[in-house]
Amino acid sequence: MNPLPRASSRLRGACLVLATALLGPALVVGGASGAAADPGDQPRGTAVFQIASFNLLGAGHTDGPKAPRKKFKNSKVRLGITKRIIDARSVDVVGFQEMHYPQAQQWTANFGDEWATFPGTRRGADPGRFSLSWNKSVFEAVKLQTIKIPYFKGQELPMPYVLLRHRGTGQEAWFINVHNPANTQGDATRFRAEAVRREGDLINRLSRETPGAPVFLTGDMNDRDKFFCPMVRRAPVIASAGGYRTAQGGCRPPGQMDVDWIVSTKENSFTSHTSLRDAQVSEASDHPFIVANANILAPRVRSAATDRVLVIGAAGLGGRLLRTHKGATPVLQRLMGSGASTTSARTAPETTLTMPNLVTMLTGRRVARADGGHGVTGNSDTGGTVHSAAGQYTSSVFDLTHNHGMRTAFYSAHPRSALIRRTWDGAHGGGDPFGPDNGRDKIDVDPVLPDDGAVASRVAADLRANPARLTVVEMTGLAAARARSKYGSKEHVAALRTLDQRIGAILAAVNNTPALANTMVVVAGTTGASKEGDSPTVRRQRLQEVPLLVRGPGVPRGEGLYTLNPESTYERTGQGRYDGTGPVMIGAAANLVTAALKLPPIPGSQVNTTQRLNVLPLD
């Protein structure tokens, strides 16, 4: 891929996710910030938001002395409960069914400052039953339209579809909300079939007319597999609940289904699906509250040339080592010149130990368990898993890559790496909720090897013979040499030179294998190195400051990360911060990898969560 030409802020924003994906954090070699850049030039990333579908149970069923559903409170009380559910789940857009006119009036009166609604009360009682509502701070309306869909006894009612623009990224998307008829007024099978036909045709038309804008459909379909299978055959959609259309045109429905659905075209990826039926939801309605996490990758990411990623984490590779020992690191110096790089990225702020930082690079999570982190605080194998340390299942780059049908590989000679293998093996890996089930063993290749030399040889051989789509390598010999000898001693520098040569052997396999031409290469220090006599403050700074070097399709040669990412703040002695300000952290590599492979951000990740880290030219 050629370097990007000068582009508008929106186009550059679209490039951002890809940029991260292709290179990863890059800073000017030597730590200088490079030419000043306008923070407004920071490219935009993945549009990440929560979408929900909820049948409110109409006011006509519960309000007044003759209402048939006596066990439910009136609609005013229930709508307040609904708003609390929406807030608790951080929902950004919701499709309501059975929003009877009193509920539409109340929703607009109580929450109209925060939420826009269509049709709501704009077009009378019937259209308002099927309203879409969106958080005005997250989305703005571009187009508001309706389509006639068969309802009870075939009566055609207008149901909404709207084009919204995501304020944070500029990404546009269509949202359709429908209610297909139940059998409560006679057999409505043929009317539901006609409704699905029209809904599928609308999805296809909108996709043709607005390329790149995904189409979402929410609704109470009053069918399970009889909705899903006809829909996936008619339109190229995926469901948040899972399931898929087979290559032969067959249908594999989700394992668990409701009559309430969220589906979308494939420009979006779902990373969660919850059918919530707790006491609060049951008090609000007789339907579950369906909510999913949506992720619309930036257009440049979707069209990226990268098809494989190689990540090398090197313990003890501090930024100062690369700046002061250039003669011992010719391979790494050339890598900096051939891509985007920094010698002043940061480890996690909580710790400079190698193992916690490696796990952060794989999961995108902070360290502290109490704050939703992975909980791995030590530098040895505990015999458990990352999941047990975190107190919850912890997704990683291996999960997303493997779940999307791509092979993964992990290589390390250190005994503590057993923790990584065990965490995502067949016994402890998570399920595969989307598409064909690729199994729970998330790491396809994970040999036990005796030392770094064997690691380099095996990685190079596997890359030439049968490369994985994602290859992660850990090198630990440099840190071991530093533990045995003084900083800058002959043994220490010799170990640095050996590390450089071993990385060179791996890169030679990439460079000389035509099938690997579109590989993104990321090299990062997982901890730095300090000198004897450094004060505690300086020692910590030296251990935190590490290089992050990236090469790949479209990555500018010799460019610096802080130039490409003007929102990041270069600080020689500062540490990374999880709010996205300050220096770049190596934990950003996790969602750099997912973006490169055209995958959504890792569920639960807390670094580079919208894949905004840029490694492509700003102009």
| The pLDDT of residue 310 | 98
CATH architecture of 47-296: 4-Layer Sandwich (3.60)
Helix ranges, 486-584 (H): 490-511, 536-544, 561-564
Instruction: Kindly give the interhelix angle for 225-234 and 189-209, rounded to the nearest 10 degrees.
Output: 30
Stretch 220-246: mean pLDDT, rounded? 97
**Higher-confidence position of 32 and 403:** 403
- β-pairing, 115-118 vs 132-135, is antiparallel
Reported as a pLDDT band with limits 50, 70 and 90, residue 619 is low
| The pLDDT of residue 570 | 82
Per-residue pLDDT at 356 exceeds 90: yes
CA distance 89 to 147: 29
According to the 3-state scheme, what is the secondary structure of 391-450? Answer: CCCCCCHHHHHHHCCCCEEEEECCHHHHHHHHHCCCCCCCCCCCCCCCCCCCCCECCECC
Per-residue pLDDT at 547 exceeds 70: yes
| The pLDDT of residue 29 | 29
φ, ψ of residue 86 to 5 degrees: the values are -60, -45
| The pLDDT of residue 126 | 76
| The pLDDT of residue 549 | 98
Stretch 484-497: mean pLDDT, rounded? 97
| The pLDDT of residue 39 | 54
| The pLDDT of residue 12 | 33
**What is the rounded end-to-end Cα distance, in angstroms, of the chain?**
15
CA distance 381 to 389: 11
| The pLDDT of residue 57 | 97
Question: 116-126 burial, b for 16+ CB within 10 Å, e for fewer?
Answer: bbbbbbeeeee
φ, ψ of residue 432 to 5 degrees: the values are -115, 95
Per-residue pLDDT at 58 exceeds 70: yes
| The pLDDT of residue 407 | 98
Q: Which of 203-212, 487-496, 577-586 has the lowest mean pLDDT?
A: 577-586
CA distance 413 to 528: 19
Facing residues of 210 across strands? none
| The pLDDT of residue 468 | 98
Per-residue pLDDT at 355 exceeds 90: yes
φ, ψ of residue 301 to 5 degrees: the values are -70, -40
Q: What is the pLDDT of residues 434-465, one digit of tens each?
A: 889 999 999 999 999 999 999 999 999 999 99
| The pLDDT of residue 471 | 98
Stretch 404-429: mean pLDDT, rounded? 98
Per-residue pLDDT at 476 exceeds 80: yes
CA distance 438 to 427: 14
| The pLDDT of residue 44 | 82
| The pLDDT of residue 574 | 81
- Tell me if 286 sits within 8 A of 69, measured CB to CB: yes
Whole-model pTM: value is 0.90
Reported as a pLDDT band with limits 50, 70 and 90, residue 19 is very low
CATH topology of domain 9-45+302-596: Alkaline Phosphatase, subunit A (3.40.720)
Strand, helix or coil for residue 248: coil
Question: 87-101 burial, b for 16+ CB within 10 Å, e for fewer?
Answer: eeeebbbbbbbbbbb
Per-residue pLDDT at 565 exceeds 70: yes
Reported as a pLDDT band with limits 50, 70 and 90, residue 249 is confident
35-44, 144-153, 242-251 — most confident range: 144-153
| The pLDDT of residue 303 | 80
Per-residue pLDDT at 299 exceeds 60: yes
Reported as a pLDDT band with limits 50, 70 and 90, residue 263 is very high
Stretch 190-201: mean pLDDT, rounded? 98
In CATH terms, are 9-45+302-596 and 47-296 the same topology? no
Q: Is 35 exposed, middle or buried (0-12, 13-18, 19+ CB in 10 A)?
A: exposed
Strand, helix or coil for residue 181: coil
Q: Which of 125-129, 177-181, 308-312, 542-546 has the lowest mean pLDDT?
A: 125-129
| The pLDDT of residue 33 | 31
Instruction: Kindly state the tokens that stand for 373.
Output: 């982190």
| The pLDDT of residue 451 | 98
Reported as a pLDDT band with limits 50, 70 and 90, residue 139 is very high
- Tell me if 33 sits within 8 A of 317, measured CB to CB: no
Q: Where are the domains of the chain?
A: 9-45+302-596, 47-296
Handedness of CA 509, 511, 514, 516 (dihedral sign): positive
Q: What is the pLDDT of residues 78-120, one digit of tens each?
A: 999 999 999 999 999 999 999 999 999 999 999 999 999 999 9
| The pLDDT of residue 40 | 57
Q: How many CA atoms lie within 13 A of 282 on its CB side?
A: 4
- Tell me if 595 sits within 8 A of 18, measured CB to CB: yes
Stretch 406-429: mean pLDDT, rounded? 98
Stretch 594-619: mean pLDDT, rounded? 91
Stretch 383-407: mean pLDDT, rounded? 98
- Tell me if 568 sits within 8 A of 42, measured CB to CB: no
Per-residue pLDDT at 26 exceeds 80: no
Facing residues of 175 across strands? 162, 216
| The pLDDT of residue 38 | 59
User: Across the chain, what does the average pLDDT equal?
Assistant: 91
Q: Which of 36-40, 49-53, 225-229, 572-576 has the lowest mean pLDDT?
A: 36-40
CA distance 362 to 355: 11
